[in-house]
C-alpha cells in the first residue's frame, strides 16, 4: 500500500480510502466487517463515513453506518489506533430546527453523537459535509477549535466546497491562527471532472488534500453492463444511466 501526507499536515494516509456509505443500506453488517478487516489487512488505514450515512432516503436509518463501524471497533480495541477515522457533520439528524447544518450548537451535539455511535473518544478528521451559507465562519471555527482543544477531533476537513469556499476558509483560519481545513472531499471520476477547473488548483495552492468521492461514478465505471442480481448496481436509476451511456461505457470497458 502507498501512503501519502494528507494535505499540508504530517498525517499519513493510505492512497486508497475505504468509503462506507453502503454499509447498512446495501451491505450487511457481517459483510461490512469482512470488508473492513480486509482493508486493514491490505494496509488501508483511511476509513471515511458520515453521520447521515445509513439512511439512503430512509430517515430511520440515519447514523446506522457509524454504528456498524463502532461495533467493529469495539470488537477489537486495537483497531482504533490502526486507522485514520473520518466522519462528517451537516446533514439533518432529526426534525427539530437545530439538527442540521453548521451552527456551533449543532456541531457540538453532532460530534458528541458521532463519538457515541463510533464508540471512540476522538475523530481524526471531522469534515463539513457541505458549505453552510447561513452560519458565519467565526462561529464554525469557534466550535471546531473547541472540539480540538477538548481532544474530540484532531483535524478539520470540508466536502463539496467550491474553490472560493476553500480560499475563504483558509484565509479566515489564518487570521485566527488555526490550522483550518486540511482536506476537501469532492465528487471526481472520469464521468465527472468539473473540479479540475478550480477546486483542484485551489487545493494545490492552499495545501489542501483531495479526497475523491464516487471515483467509480456511482457504479457506472465498474462493470455495470454485467448484470448483477443484488447490491447497489441493481438500482433502477443506475441501470437507466447505464443504458443512456451504454456506448461510452462499452468503449470504456473495452479499453479496460
Q: Are 1 and 14 in contact (CB under 8 A)?
A: yes
Parallel, antiparallel, or unpaired for β 12-14 and 17-19? unpaired
Q: Residue 242 class from Cβ within 10 Å (0-12 exposed, 13-18 middle, 19+ buried)?
A: middle
Name residue 187's beta-bridge partners.
Answer: 213
Evaluate if residue 84 carries a pLDDT over 90: yes
The pLDDT of residue 236: 82
Residue 57's pLDDT band (cuts 50, 70, 90)? low
Evaluate if residue 229 carries a pLDDT over 80: no
Q: What is the mean pLDDT of residues 194-207?
A: 98
Q: Are 111 and 153 in contact (CB under 8 A)?
A: yes
Closest CA to 155 of 207, 199, 193: 207
Mean pLDDT of the chain: 95
The pLDDT of residue 176: 98
Residues of the chain within CATH 3.20.20.100 domain(s) are 3-215
Which distant-in-sequence residues (6+ apart) come within 8 Å of 220 by Cβ? 191, 238, 241, 242, 245, 249
Residue range 133-184, pLDDT digits in tens:
999 999 999 999 999 999 999 999 999 999 999 999 999 999 999 999 999 9
Q: What is the mean pLDDT of residues 35-62?
A: 91
Catalytic site residue from 53, 90, 126, 188 = 53
Please give the grid coordinates belonging to residue 104: 456551533
Q: How far apart are CA 1 and CA 41, in angstroms?
A: 10
Please give the grid coordinates belonging to residue 73: 471497533
pTM (two decimals): 0.95
Residue 234's pLDDT band (cuts 50, 70, 90)? confident
Please give the grid coordinates belonging to residue 109: 451535539
Residue range 180-196, pLDDT digits in tens:
999 999 999 999 999 99
3-215 has which CATH code?
3.20.20.100
Between 59 and 105, the higher pLDDT residue: 105
- 212 phi, psi to nearest 5 deg: -75, 135
How many angstroms separate the Cα of 254 from the Cα of each of 14, 192, 225, 249? 29, 20, 11, 8
The pLDDT of residue 230: 72
Closest CA to 208 of 3, 2, 4, 6: 6
Residue range 116-136, pLDDT digits in tens:
999 999 999 999 999 999 999
Q: Are 121 and 77 in contact (CB under 8 A)?
A: no
The pLDDT of residue 61: 87
Reply yes or no on whether 53 is catalytic: yes
Between 235 and 20, the higher pLDDT residue: 20
Amino acid at each position: 500500500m502507498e501512503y501519502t501526507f494528507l494535505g499540508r499536515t504530517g498525517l499519513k494516509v493510505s492512497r486508497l480510502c475505504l468509503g462506507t456509505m453502503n454499509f447498512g443500506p446495501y451491505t450487511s453488517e457481517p459483510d461490512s466487517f469482512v470488508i473492513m478487516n480486509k482493508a486493514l489487512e491490505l494496509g488501508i488505514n483511511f476509513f471515511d463515513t458520515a453521520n447521515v450515512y445509513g439512511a439512503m432516503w430512509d430517515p430511520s436509518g440515519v447514523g446506522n453506518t457509524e454504528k456498524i463501524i463502532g461495533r467493529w471497533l469495539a470488537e477489537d480495541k486495537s483497531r482504533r489506533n490502526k486507522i485514520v477515522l473520518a466522519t462528517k457533520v451537516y446533514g439533518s439528524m432529526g426534525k427539530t430546527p437545530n439538527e442540521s447544518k453548521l451552527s456551533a450548537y449543532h456541531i457540538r451535539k453532532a460530534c458528541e453523537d458521532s463519538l457515541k455511535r463510533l464508540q471512540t473518544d476522538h475523530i481524526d478528521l471531522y469534515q463539513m459535509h457541505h458549505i453552510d451559507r447561513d452560519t458565519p465562519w467565526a462561529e464554525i471555527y469557534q466550535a471546531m477549535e473547541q472540539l480540538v482543544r477538548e481532544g474530540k477531533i484532531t483535524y478539520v476537513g470540508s466536502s463539496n466546497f467550491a474553490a472560493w469556499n476553500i480560499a475563504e476558509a483558509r484565509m479566515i483560519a489564518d487570521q485566527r491562527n488555526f490550522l483550518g481545513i486540511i482536506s476537501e472531499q469532492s465528487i471526481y471520476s472520469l464521468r465527472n471532472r468539473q473540479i479540475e477547473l478550480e477546486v483542484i488548483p485551489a487545493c494545490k495552492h492552499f495545501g489542501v488534500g483531495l479526497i475523491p468521492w464516487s471515483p467509480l461514478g456511482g457504479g457506472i465505471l465498474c462493470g455495470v453492463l454485467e448484470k448483477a442480481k443484488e447490491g447497489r448496481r441493481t438500482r433502477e436509476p443506475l441501470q437507466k444511466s447505464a443504458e443512456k451511456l451504454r456506448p461510452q461505457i462499452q468503449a470504456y470497458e473495452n479499453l479496460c
